[in-house]
Structure 1
Amino acid sequence: MPAEIILQQTPDAAALFDKREQLAAVRTMLAEREAELAQIRAQLKTFEGRYLRQVGVLYAELDELEARIAEREVALYDSESARRRAEETRQRAQETRDAAFGEAREAEEFDPPPSLKTLFRDVAKRIHPDFARDEEELKHFTLLMARANQAYSRGDTEMLQRLLDDHREIHASIAGEGAAAEVLRIGRQIRHAERDIAALDAERAALLSGDIAQLHLDAETAAREHRDLLTELATSLLEQVADARRRFELIDRQISAHGR
């Protein structure tokens, strides 16, 4: 009777197999979380752009008119309370204008400093997909590189530095060779991936609890009722702007009548 040869994995080899399975699973989960968060960001960004174009600019116009009215009231009444109100309304008008128009200006003015460029290059030299050793690492490096590009476009030095530090820690030398050492290296990768998943979940929760997300939710509810919430808000603001213009013209006439 022929003898059967039974191949058994060593404990280290079995542990390495399990760790690789865990790493593949956690990286898949990380990629899914990244994709989900990217979709949420894109949806809210698109909605915020529409909000700023339809509603934000009208808030800015209204607050500017209110500030001008308050400033004219100083000339008419010349009181401490009038001056204080003029300062407050002017500050609010500036804040509203910055909110409505500031983002586009910041995008136009984005000029990354040399330190950010150097940091980005250091990161790219380590995690660029071209340097991947296998298909699994190629997918992971592609994900990391996308994150690095987003951080660079935002001027997010902290995120870029974290990507660099993570890479250095994961690939720091571990005493010994073979399966046992590889298990330790993969363990580091798993811990970093799990930490990144937790960070993405926290960012998702923060985004969905923000004002824009709530307004987006309200707009979706209105849409199911065949209403356009942003158009309704804009219509209401147009009426308020028209009223503010009338009040500004009235106070202007009062000042002229008093010869001021």
Structure 2
Amino acid sequence: MTHEAAGVPPTRNDDDRQDDDRPAEPQPAPEAAASAGDAAPRPEARLAKAVQAAEQALIEFEIAVETFRVEVENFSRLHHQKLGPMYARLDELDAQIAEARAAKTGDPEDLRKAKEARDIVMPMPGVDELFHDWMDSDGLSPEASAMLTEQPVRPPKRVRPSEEARKLYRELARKAHPDLAQDEPERERRDEFITRVNAAYGRGDVELLKELAAEWAAGPAQPLAPLSESEELYARLEWLSRRKELLTVLAKELEEGAIGSMLRMAPDDPDQLLEDIGEQLLGEVSRREAELAELVQ
């Protein structure tokens, strides 16, 4: 083992002592040493990175909200299409049961209940025919919108689009999201494109999503944005924050709504939930039919 390895200071020879007697060479100033290495990033550059991270986070949040919104809308429409007739049948049976009971008893209270039950089954004359399949809680139905825009009517096939459709949608939303636009013309172009992407995803149209992906890939490339001034970057961060607040409100409304609450009961397979509800309604129909049969005997 050497002295150095053992921690003992080595013995210096005369050359070493002569070197000690030489004047020390000037050392570079701290500022000069720092400049020799990597320059510290400008505050605006760090802020630009923060803006970019906030943009990506917002886009991911919007994708999640839009995905859930599509499921809520599709579940609502398929719930109406598949189960609406069963609900109508239950209302009719309730009215018939109430009328049969009132006919037996002649009690004024039973007569009142029978009239109320029948009023539920018979809406205001002409209204249902006039607005049938043209109006929903949010305005025009997709079928009505398609008629007005001369587009083919393509209702959703399932509550949740396929995994392939969801993957294509996420990729397109991340690439073409309007929040990535740097000027108004580019934002308008992206708005129009994402509107078509959302419509195709809502229907679960994989082939159309593939066509849209090819269309975007062939379009003009988005140029890299030059470094913005700190005031502009701060304003951008504020806008992203406000946008996230609005999306948070929308997400909460979707989750707390009647359909959203039902979807949370079956997050893995909402389509099976529709089937389960349908079976329950069939059981209710059978029980009411049996009750009505007893009353009219």
Normalised to the residue count of structure 1, the TM-score between the two structures is 0.52
**Deviation at residue 147 of structure 1 after TM alignment:** 7.1
Secondary structure (helix, strand or coil) at the match of 2:248 reads helix
Q: C-alpha separation between the residues in 1 aligned to 2:43 and 2:267?
A: 49
Change (3 A) 1:138 1:71: same
Compute the RMSD of aligned alpha carbons.
Answer: 5.1
Per-residue CA deviations over 1:202-252 (Å, capped at 9, x if unaligned) read: 32233234443343343357x6xxxx544343233223223433544565x
1:193 matched residue in structure 2 = 240
Change (3 A) 1:58 1:193: same
1:202 matched residue in structure 2 = 249
Change (3 A) 1:30 1:242: same
Per-residue CA deviations over 1:112-170 (Å, capped at 9, x if unaligned) read: 9xxxxxxxxxxxxxxx97xx557xx95797369747998xxxxxxxxxxxxxxxxxxxx
Residue identity in the other structure for 1:191 = E
Larger gyration radius, structure 1 or structure 2: 2
Change (3 A) 1:29 1:91: farther
Residue identity in the other structure for 2:71 = Q
Q: How does 1:36-51 map to 2 (within 5 A)?
A: 36-51=64-79
Normalised to the residue count of structure 2, the TM-score between the two structures is 0.47
**Deviation at residue 31 of structure 1 after TM alignment:** 0.7
Q: Any conservation in 2 of the 1:219–1:230 contact (CA below 8 Å)?
A: no
Q: C-alpha separation between the residues in 2 aligned to 1:86 and 1:78?
A: 11
| Of 52-61 and 68-77, the range deviating more from structure 2 | 68-77
Residue segments in structure 2 that go unaligned for 5+ positions in a row: 1-31, 149-176, 199-226
Q: C-alpha separation between the residues in 2 aligned to 1:239 and 1:197?
A: 44
1:21 matched residue in structure 2 = 49
Residue segments in structure 1 that go unaligned for 5+ positions in a row: 8-12, 113-127, 151-178, 255-260
**Deviation at residue 186 of structure 1 after TM alignment:** 3.4
Q: How does 1:1-260 map to 2 (within 5 A)?
A: 14-90=42-118, 93=121, 103=136, 106-109=141-144, 133=182, 138=186, 142=190, 146=194, 182-220=229-267, 228-248=272-292, 251=295, 253=296
Change (3 A) 1:194 1:141: farther
Change (3 A) 1:200 1:19: same
Change (3 A) 1:245 1:25: same
Q: C-alpha separation between the residues in 2 aligned to 1:190 and 1:148?
A: 28
Residue identity in the other structure for 2:87 = Y
Larger proportion of helix: 1
Count of residues in correspondence between the two structures: 196
Residue identity in the other structure for 1:196 = R
